[in-house]
């Protein structure tokens, strides 16, 4: 299985937006979640990563859009992925060069796409031929939400119950072709780095008495969300999308110390989209809205966004999963 000399592989992977959110862990080393989550892989937000690997000890390095990531920022994300591959392959080191196809500073989560692209590229460069399910478990170690970026379309991350995380993985529920009219209108509201990362923020859920209620809500309604997508029921899908976003942000507000990720523009948009009846919003740990609607209503959603003061807008379709672009194996 081992190779000789320098081997290179390049892969690209989608970012994803959670409809049913992951917020809270039962194991923080293995990124095992308290609840299952459901997401959509995005066509317009992608990361392209090239890895050069060589057997044996050495320093691994990561460059994102030309800038090196070092220290804890490296060790706690990509470093965990490299460790997982070493357990399967043996010792190696890698130089990783990653490019985002969207402005990295725009506050659009890129780590999920970046970690997924890295996992797929390393699998190729090391010649391991791991399945998508196995790759999702490795991506999960790097960053929980990244496991959902190892496939395209509509994706379920099963929380699993085992302590070793072997049953906590992702798979595609519907392909990207399932609901071709559906689009995500993404508003770029805040460019600043969030004060409290998702990783740190979600550790605070243990202080929220609302969390127990949220876990029950997720358990009961996740099948309804999936069913709304199965039936391509716009109204139902928008409704559950908004309820799940609100549920996560309610727990975030209820946790102590409190974190606030939404701002005045986010709240103005929430009100307008609820009134509109033509779309459903969702927010991750930041102020940027993802508003789902159908192609024929996208222009109206863009108008609403402009009205509340959002000027930078990206429209994405549901996208395919990762792809190996190049390999010299
Ligand atoms: P998010 O995208 O979730 O908002 P950040 O952009 O702050 O989070 O990224 C968190 C960490 O994820 C970074 O410190 C880095 O270690 C890792 N990361 C981000 N982008 C990539 C990438 N393209 N390749 C590998 N790791 C990445
Ligand atoms: C709000 O996946 O960034 O985007 O597992 O600690 O790396 P770690 O957390 P991360 O959290 C994502 C939180 C979220 C919701 C979601 O994507 O489900």
Assess whether the C-beta atom of 198 lies below 6 angstroms from ligand 2: yes
- Which residue's alpha carbon is nearest to atom 1 within ligand 2? 284
Q: Could you give phi then psi for residue 75, rounded to 5 degrees? A: -60, -40
- Please tell me the CATH code under which domain 182-317 is placed: 3.30.70.890
Same fold, 7-176 and 182-317: no
214 and 247 in contact (C-beta within 8 Å)? yes
Element (H, E) at 101: none
Answer whether residue 106 shows pLDDT above 80: no
Q: Please state, in angstroms and rounded to a whole number, the distance separating the CA atoms of residues 29 and 31.
A: 6
- Please tell me the CATH code under which domain 7-176 is placed: 3.30.230.10
Give the start-to-end residue ranges of the domains of the chain: 7-176, 182-317
**Structure pTM?**
0.97
Q: Which string of DSSP letters, residue by residue, matches 13-72?
A: EEEEEEEE----EEETTTTEESS-EEEEEEEEEEEEEEEEEEESS---EEEETTEEE-HH
pLDDT by residue (tens digit) across 49-89? 999 999 999 999 999 999 999 999 999 999 999 999 999 99
Cβ contacts of residue 170 below 8 Å, gap of 6+? Answer: 133, 136, 140, 147, 148, 150, 151, 155, 156, 157, 158
15 and 108 in contact (C-beta within 8 Å)? yes
- How high is the pLDDT of residue 105? 63
Assess whether the C-beta atom of 35 lies below 6 angstroms from ligand 2: no
Q: Please state, in angstroms and rounded to a whole number, the distance separating the CA atoms of residues 208 and 118.
A: 34
Mutate to test the pocket of ligand 2, among 31, 145, 255 (most ligand atoms within 8 A of CB): 145
As a whole-number percent, the residues of the chain with pLDDT over 90 amount to 92
Going from the Cα of 34 to the center of ligand 1, the distance in angstroms, rounded, reads 22
- Which residue's alpha carbon is nearest to atom 4 within ligand 2? 284
Mutate to test the pocket of ligand 1, among 70, 81, 106, 110 (most ligand atoms within 8 A of CB): 110
**What is the rounded end-to-end Cα distance, in angstroms, of the chain?**
11
Least confident interval from 58-62, 107-111, 174-178, 202-206: 107-111
Going from the Cα of 110 to the center of ligand 1, the distance in angstroms, rounded, reads 6
Count of positions (residues) in the chain: 329
Q: Please calculate the CA angle 64-70-72 and round it to the nearest 5 degrees.
A: 120
């Amino acid at each position: 299985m081992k190779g000789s000399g320098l081997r290179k592989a390049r892969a690209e992977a989608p970012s994803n937006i959670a409809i049913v959110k992951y917020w809270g862990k039962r194991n923080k080393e293995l990124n095992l979640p308290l609840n299952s989550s459901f997401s959509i892989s995005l066509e317009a937000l992608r990361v392209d990563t090239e890895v050069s690997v060589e057997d044996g000890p050495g320093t691994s390095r990561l460059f994102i859009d030309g800038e090196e990531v070092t220290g804890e920022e490296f060790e706690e994300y990509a470093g965990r992925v490299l460790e997982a591959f070493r357990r399967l392959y043996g010792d190696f080191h890698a130089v990783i060069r990653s490019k985002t196809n969207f402005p990295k500073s725009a506050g659009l989560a890129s780590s999920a796409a970046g970690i997924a692209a890295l996992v797929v590229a390393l699998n190729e460069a090391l010649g391991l031929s791991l399945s998508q399910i196995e790759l999702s478990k490795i991506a999960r170690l790097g960053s929980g939400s990244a496991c959902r970026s190892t496939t395209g379309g509509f994706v379920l991350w099963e929380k699993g119950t085992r302590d070793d995380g072997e049953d906590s993985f992702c798979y595609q529920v519907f392909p990207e072709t399932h609901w071709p009219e559906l689009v995500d209108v993404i508003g770029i509201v805040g460019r600043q780095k969030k004060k409290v990362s998702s990783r740190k923020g979600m550790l605070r859920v243990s202080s929220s008495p609302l969390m127990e209620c949220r876990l029950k809500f997720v358990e009961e309604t996740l099948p309804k969300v999936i069913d709304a997508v199965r039936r391509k029921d716009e109204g139902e899908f928008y409704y559950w999308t908004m309820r799940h976003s609100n549920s996560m942000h309610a727990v975030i507000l209820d946790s102590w110390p409190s974190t606030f990720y939404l701002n005045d523009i986010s709240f103005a948009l929430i009100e307008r989209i609820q009134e509109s009846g033509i779309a459903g919003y969702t927010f991750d740990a930041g102020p940027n809205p993802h508003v789902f609607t159908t192609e024929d209503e996208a222009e109206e959603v863009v108008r609403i966004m402009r009205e509340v003061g959002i000027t930078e807008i990206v429209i994405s379709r549901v996208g395919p999963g990762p792809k190996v672009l190049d390999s010299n194996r």
